[in-house]
Structure 1
Amino acid sequence: MSTLTDRYVWAAVRSIPEKQRGELEPELRGLIADTTDAQREKGVSDADIERATLLELGDPVRLAAGYTERPLQLIGPRYYLDWLRLLKLLLVIVVPIAALGAALGRLLSGGDVGDVFGALFVTAIGVAVHLSFWVTLVFALVERGGVQRIKTPGDGPLLEWTPDSLPQLPAPAARRQSLVELILGLVFLAVFAGWFVWQQFNSFLTDADGTPIPVLEPALWSGWMYWFLGLIVLEGVFAVWVYQRGRMTMGLATLNLFMNIAFTVPAVWLLLTGQLINQEFLDAIPDTDADFDTAMSYALPVIAFIVIGVAVWDVIDGYIKAWRSRNVSDTAGE
């Protein structure tokens, strides 16, 4: 079980270049040991001494930046970390909600593929720009206006740092397992994306001229196919991102929720409205009598149910992993 000290050192060294970590870690542990001795001389009990030591040292990212002489600027050293964390949080939560809401609204209002894409990208870019501008402006005004903090009128951060916010240490065994999951996931996504392209030019059914008949409706290449391929690429980037962080978080699980919605909703809608499967492909299947048509009428809702079920399970699994990571982190801090 990891200690708060281990998690503190990990949080500090992961924010600097890897080649400097070997030098910084022993220095940090030495500083923590010296500070612990000072806390013990002050009469702090052994049960509270580790937390008191880390509270005195403060934010590990800020401490690491001081050791490596890495400036925390743009807004300014006092507010930089507060600005960066708040902006990241807002971009991850607000931008996907606003963009998907605009796209869904345009889709339900009868807009075509171009309208949906336009609403999605314009809203996402507009919201991201506005968030970045207004958050930056507020922090700049606070710093330059000499606004005093409510809790700590000195140079401490706006968002008070505590050891409870330390990240969980990545377990080596779990790391190896997540690497296997990452590789398998990326291989699956590559095969899935490759099939989208492959089926357009290869099929076991051909027309009278011997031209392969695609399984998916060729008209999808006017817009929706690029949407799905883009989401597959985004899913791959997301998987790598989660692996690099070493764990799933509630914010990442929520982002995974929106990506599943962005893929599943249009896919199911296209399937049930007859716009996903190429009708020419169905007509070319031998012995397409009334029984086959009846079977297809039952099969399509079943396929839609399976697609929705897979998406729901992926979302639930993401939140379970995030909850377990947080639970392990809380336990390690006890």
Structure 2
Amino acid sequence: MPSTYTERYIAAVAKTLPPQTQDDVRVELQASIADAVDARIDQGDDPADAERAVLADLGDPAALAAGYADRPLHLIGPRYYLTWLRLLKLLLWIVPICVAGAVALGTTISNAPIGEIIGQTVSVGISVIVHLVFWTTLVFAVLERTGADTGAVWNVDMLAEPEASGSGRSDAIASIVMVVILAGAIVWDRLRGFVLADGEALPILNPDLWPWWVAGLFALLAAEAVLAVVVWARGRWSVGAAIVNTALAVLFVSWGLTLLVRGELVNPEFLAFVVEAGGDGFAAGDAGAAEQGGVLRILAVLTGFVIVGISAWDAIDGWRKTRRAARA
């Protein structure tokens, strides 16, 4: 004899429940379904139509069983969602950038072609992002189903101070002071030098950069100071200010990398002094790294990455402050 819809529905609900609760659920469901069907019949519904309507109102038996078993039907619920989201954002801001930067630095030092550098950096960066999202989500999904406590409990002490817009007087003063210090260091390096070799001052920057290349650098520094004053006078960052700040960062990177690639940024006499001061061990190390262009080339690559990194952060910071000011 074929089973009724009610029997099939109850069986579908009970089969995913723990054995010790199945009988109780069967009895409860049988009674509640029968009462609901009788109520519809009393209102004039056909018995078969009444049974189908009641079961349709109860919904998917798997969802009903999850309710009886207190089993979540979501990957990550509200209990863990905010902790998962905050941790994932933090990891995605830090890990892919660090890993991609390390890959780019390593492949550049190994003198790889530019296409290989870009390809490996992008592929590794994407792979890291995928792994971070997958494994972080998997961990929180397991926590959701085991009911483990993450220990993350919100309290009022976690309320952050309002973020500064980066347009205060102290920010403008700090920017101007940094510009003055850097300009003073460049002049000091030219006139007095930071290194003494045989009692004589030895500049680190190439003296041949004077006057025009250094004048260009001073112009960029002056523009940076003017931008800080303008932002302070207006009381907030704007899209225009962020664009100008990004353009100055790009120009600084172009200035530094052009001279670095051409081998004109650092004083050749200073490099010779470094090699001589390092002794035979340094020279041997330089020769041993010949496949990568020598120790001095490796140092040049590191310098280039520092220049790009500082400029990129300055540009990003300007856009962050612009977004913050727009929200405010």
Verify same fold: TM over 0.5. Answer: no
Could you say which structure has the larger radius of gyration? 2
